[in-house]
């Protein structure tokens, strides 16, 4: 898929089909008219996470009402391989960076996790959803990752993700590097778990290593910030599956 720097993509919460008319939000109208200097007759592309991507003609554009009409499907919807990133909530702007890059790197579910060393225990789901939406618009994704409410680490291990393979990014010694550990593995669903800035507590590390579905891996010899660790882990994961 060739990159087109002039292509404008917008996410909409509206069904898309041939001939469908869609009224855009005021923010989207402002972006098209004021920022991108578009006008009636120009083309934009819309996606909604389930109907693929559609080329649309702008029928009317002003500050009060902007309407576009779908002319043809430019890309069909493709099912996304499930990939969850479990991460300790971070302060701004680190959490914005993490959500943006996780979206670009194919994460389907963003699961904040509360650990012994978690310092920030709340997230602004609406704000993070906007970050994910803008990242998806820019990186040609056809869907937007789901942002879940924060949950306790131990509850996630025993409940929601008991049937998943959890790749646990361990800061300790005597763990294989991530690329080595994942070589030849193809089964999912996958979960990547990164800890808070102060790392996991000894109790948490012991519990994680006792889980049959948890794989401890290392990210290299350097000490990484939590948001950097997430990006590094996702990049190596995708590379190990040939998605880079």
Q: Say if residue 18 is exposed, middle or buried (CB neighbours under 10 Å; 0-12, 13-18, 19+).
A: exposed
Token match 């996606």: residue?
47
| Closest to 133 (Cα-Cα) out of 117, 145, 151 | 145
Task: Give the global pTM.
Answer: 0.92
Number of residues in the chain: 244
Q: Which residues contact 209 (CB under 8 A, 6 or more apart)?
A: 216
In order of their start, the domains of the chain are 9-75 (2.40.240.20), 83-240 (3.40.1280.10)
In order along its 244 residues, the chain shows pLDDT tens digits of 566 778 999 999 999 999 999 999 999 999 999 999 999 999 999 999 999 999 999 999 987 889 999 999 999 999 888 999 999 999 999 999 999 999 999 999 999 999 999 988 889 999 999 999 999 999 999 999 999 999 999 888 877 777 788 999 987 778 889 988 888 776 678 999 999 988 899 999 999 989 888 999 999 888 899 999 999 999 999 988 776 5
């Amino acid at each position: 898929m060739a990159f087109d720097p002039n292509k404008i993509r917008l996410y909409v919460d509206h069904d898309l089909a041939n001939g469908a008319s869609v009224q855009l939000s005021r923010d989207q109208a402002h972006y098209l008219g004021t920022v991108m200097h578009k006008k009636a007759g120009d083309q934009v592309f819309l996606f909604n996470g389930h109907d693929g991507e559609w080329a649309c003609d702008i029928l009317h554009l002003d500050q009060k009402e902007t309407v576009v009409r779908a002319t043809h499907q430019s890309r069909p919807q493709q099912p996304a391989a499930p990939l969850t990133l479990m991460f300790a909530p971070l302060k701004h702007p680190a959490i914005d960076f993490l959500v943006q890059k996780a979206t670009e790197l194919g994460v389907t579910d963003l699961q904040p996790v509360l650990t012994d060393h978690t310092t920030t225990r709340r997230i602004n789901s609406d704000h993070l959803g906007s970050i994910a939406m803008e990242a998806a618009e820019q990186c040609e994704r056809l869907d937007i990752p789901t942002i879940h409410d924060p949950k306790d680490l131990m509850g996630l291990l025993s409940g929601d993700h008991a049937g998943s393979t959890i790749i646990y990014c361990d800061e300790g010694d005597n763990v294989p590097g991530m690329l080595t550990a994942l070589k030849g593995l193809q089964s999912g669903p996958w979960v990547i778990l990164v800890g808070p800035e102060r790392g996991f507590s000894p109790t948490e590390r012991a519990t994680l290593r006792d889980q049959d579905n948890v794989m401890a891996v290392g990210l290299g010899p350097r000490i990484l910030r939590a948001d950097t660790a997430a990006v590094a882990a996702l990049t190596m994961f995708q590379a190990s599956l040939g998605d880079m």
